[in-house]
Amino acid sequence: MLIRHTGDYTWEDVPVLAYKEENLTCFKSVTRQVLINAVPQLPCQLRYFEVAPGGYSTLEKHEHVHFVVIFHGEGRALIDGKVHTVKEKDVIFIPSLTWHQFRAGEDSPLGFLCLVAEDRDRPVLPTSEDLTVLRENSSIADFIRS
């Protein structure tokens, strides 16, 4: 099976979806495409997310892990308790139960491929106590959106 790129980071017969189905307001300007669905021999989904300039993904954590490849543009990400600049071709592992958030640059989209297990727990959002702890680090305080 070939899933052909049809230009501008869309793929043949792959719908461009809202980032999350829930009515969450803790993200901005993110789309989601499921490029390959899980099969029994590899029970994972390959997705492509794109955060528009100035947008951000949800600040969240969960038991499941992500393998991420930055695929388009650049931005910043909270990974491993630090804020990193990220750009095309960088590869990221998000371990279990660690806070993560992606932000596009002001003038650049941030698109990334994300491999995730089909059978996974729901993300947890930060409580006000969690935010207080996260904000003890000033670079994280400046970065996070929630």
Secondary structure letter of residue 134 according to DSSP: H
Question: Among residues 114, 116, 134, 144, which one is catalytic?
Answer: 114
| Helices marked H in the chain | 128-134, 138-143
| SS3 state of residue 89 | coil
Give residues with Cβ within 8 angstroms of 41, minimum separation 6. Answer: none
Beta-strand relationship, 5-7 and 10-11: antiparallel
Can 114 be counted among the known catalytic residues? yes
What is the phi/psi pair of residue 70, to 5°?
A: -70, 130
* Residue 37: strand pairing partners: none
Q: Which residue has the tokens 């959106």?
A: 145
- Annotated catalytic sites, by residue? 114
